[in-house]
Structure 1
Amino acid sequence: MRRAWAGLQGLFAVYKAPGVHWMMVRDAVETRLLRDLNALQRPPPRKEVRFLPTSTEGKDGDELTMTVASVPVLADHPLVSGPAFTRLKVGAGHRLDIKSSGVFVLGLGHGNKLLHDLYNAHLSRTYTVRGLFGKATDDFSDEGKLIEKTTFDHITREKLERILSVIQGSHHKALLQYANLDLKTQEAYELAVRGLIRPMDKSPPLITAVRCLQFAPPEFQLEIHCLHETQQYLRKIVHEIGLELKSSAVCTQVRRVRDGVFTLEDALLRTQWCLPNIQKAIVKSGLRVEELHKSLAHQEEPWTDEEGDGKTDGEADGGPGQNKGGNTLWEGAAIR
């Protein structure tokens, strides 16, 4: 049992389905782990030496004498002590709102500290975002209140990709300034080659890359690499793209396919949320997280040793993902 608990120290990823709150996912993982841990065979109860009275026949009849005996400690019995584990500290990484799905990173034990480390490293995340031309809603999703319908026959893939290039270009300029790097140095060149240029502090949402994966009007699909985003911000990006194309668009799906070093291949499905699978996932991710620490050590300031519940600031709670102004979202990325 102790060995099993020792294997639950680190980070792992699960797949969050749409329509489910991230807290329900975290609680479901904790409940399953508690059930599996408490189902393991317990060590035998401790023994203690007791002097027990026994009756023997003497000259004057039965006499009580004390004999030495080794008896189990009743306080260690499961019916007395109860479950060995009643609560686990499961920390949640970058949140996903209820409409979104995809990779959701969780931490156990010292993994809660690692969640803070990864948050402070400002790593990028990747999403696939599906959109639908021809209508606009009040919350930029296909489930919102319909505001208007528009035509979209004039939209071509070339026009869409031209808008995407403008978005990526304006955000790239902002990223270089927030990264606080001298672009003429060897360090900046090496970081650019490795794709590790990123802001060293909080910033507005930044898109590092965006491309069109599928174009079949009225439907289209984008792949977006970004930092400090919220899922609602990505839905608004789809809305703004529709306006720039002299039409309208709503977002039908936001799916996170990568969070830092974790990808969809690492994310455990609902049927895989059990003790052995989570232990294996923690071991598998441990090497990559350690390598990431080494590769970022020369660029990062020392990570603070905060102790918390594994929650990161802002993100899907509406913090750094808010639009900072500008007529469009990509204009809002410029340094003010």
Structure 2
Amino acid sequence: MGSAGLARLHGLFAVYKPPGLKWLHLRDTVELQLLKGLNAGKPPAPEHRVRFLLAPMEGSEEKELTLTAASVPTLTNHRLVHGPAFTSLKIGVGHRLDAQASGVLVLGVGHGCRLLTNMYHAHLTKDYTVRGLLGKATDDFCEDGRLVEKTTYDHVTREKLDRILAVIQGSHQKALVTYSNLDLQSQEAYEMAVRGVIRPMNKSPMLITGIRCLRFTPPEFLLEVQCMHETQQQLRKLVHEIGLELKTTAVCTQVRRTRDGFFTLDDALLRTQWNLNSIQDAIGAAAPRVAAELENLRPRLDTQEHPSPGQPWDSKGPRSTLGLESCAGH
């Protein structure tokens, strides 16, 4: 099972990261479960070698010993002698999630680590649901942070929130065109706009391609955000700045990624599925889709600027996550 199982472990798959779990601990847990599955297979039959062993001579009354040829197993490759066959795996992590966030996290095994790099250069959008709470402000924009202010929010309506979201989306869409380095008068720009695949050529501040309110039940509200080059802390700060634009305050109570490029919540393996068979099946199911999507993006990927070694996947972004200052004049 070991070698055959390893051959099916080259590719990409997604897991669901629960809140409170660090991405590095998740990666190590997945690696441990995969190694356990690879090493759990039945070991191959040991090789036999001919040895000359001392044995009593037949028909001798004085119990004389003589060398007798015998076939005995070779134990040099036995698991109890040299240890487990697999001790480490090459597992890469895509766009990371911080400890407080949850949702889709893409991992790559073996050759799949190269596909993670291709996903990085494609500048694919990611979807989040972000939950906010009106009337409070904290030092880290999270509900459990140190409280710095409490405000009223009775004047906030769904219409006012929708107007603020429309302004945010419009300003970020202008910035998206600017960072894409496209000639707006060209046929290429027109065709890409029709297909909705305009993306920045290189790294950029956080760009929001879509934002809308899914639910508004004061003091709580739920946003759906499509974005790229973001960090989860920037999304929390976005909630804080939306509260300020509404003449009140707001904190973020939840950040949940629902899609990362080609992978959605339906593809994400739950904690009980972090085992060899489930991951092999997930890699096999995702492989044709990933190959087709990357092939469609290949002309665009060939023009991307490769990051320097050690460059993080997530940019720091502008000081204002609303992007109103950084987009002025574009």
TM-score normalised over the length of structure 2: 0.92
Tell me the secondary structure at the aligned position of residue 281 of structure 1.
Answer: helix
Task: Report the equivalent of 1:204.
Answer: 205
Task: Report the equivalent of 1:125.
Answer: 126
Describe the shift of the 1:333–1:141 C-alpha distance in structure 2 as closer, same or farther (beyond 3 A): farther
User: How far has the Cα of 1:312 moved from its partner?
Assistant: 7.0
Describe the shift of the 1:191–1:108 C-alpha distance in structure 2 as closer, same or farther (beyond 3 A): same
Alpha-carbon displacement from aligned partner over 1:55-98 (angstroms, at most 9, x marks no partner) = 42589966655444332211121211211111122211111011
- Whether 1:331 and 2:325 are equivalent positions in the alignment is yes
User: How far has the Cα of 1:273 moved from its partner?
Assistant: 1.0
Q: Are the aligned partners of 1:239 and 1:249 in contact in 2 as well (CA < 8 Å)?
A: yes
Q: Are the aligned partners of 1:174 and 1:335 in contact in 2 as well (CA < 8 Å)?
A: no
1:83 is matched by which residue type in structure 2?
A: P
Structure 1 stretch 138-147 or stretch 70-79: which is displaced more? 70-79
User: How far has the Cα of 1:184 moved from its partner?
Assistant: 2.4
CA distance in 2, matches of 1:61, 1:132: 96
Aligned residue runs from structure 1 range 103-122, under 5 A: 103-122=104-123
Tell me the secondary structure at the aligned position of residue 57 of structure 2.
Answer: strand
Q: Are the aligned partners of 2:122 and 2:300 in contact in 1 as well (CA < 8 Å)?
A: no
Q: Are the aligned partners of 1:205 and 1:333 in contact in 2 as well (CA < 8 Å)?
A: no
- Whether 1:241 and 2:242 are equivalent positions in the alignment is yes
Aligned residue runs from structure 1 range 1-336, under 5 A: 1=1, 2-56=3-57, 65-301=66-302, 313-315=312-314, 320=315, 322-325=316-319, 328-333=322-327
CA distance in 2, matches of 1:203, 1:53: 77
Structure 2 unaligned residues grouped into runs of 5+: none
Structure 1 unaligned residues grouped into runs of 5+: none
- After superposition, the CA RMSD in angstroms is 2.4
1:78 is matched by which residue type in structure 2?
A: R
Alpha-carbon displacement from aligned partner over 1:271-304 (angstroms, at most 9, x marks no partner) = 1111111011001111111011110111222789
Describe the shift of the 1:287–1:305 C-alpha distance in structure 2 as closer, same or farther (beyond 3 A): farther
Describe the shift of the 1:327–1:202 C-alpha distance in structure 2 as closer, same or farther (beyond 3 A): closer
Alpha-carbon displacement from aligned partner over 1:130-152 (angstroms, at most 9, x marks no partner) = 00111111111101111111111
- Identity of paired residues, percent? 59
CA distance in 2, matches of 1:20, 1:292: 30
2:174 is matched by which residue type in structure 1?
A: K
CA distance in 2, matches of 1:279, 1:228: 29
User: How far has the Cα of 1:195 moved from its partner?
Assistant: 2.1
Structure 1 stretch 65-74 or stretch 83-92: which is displaced more? 65-74
TM-score normalised over the length of structure 1: 0.91
CA distance in 2, matches of 1:213, 1:198: 25
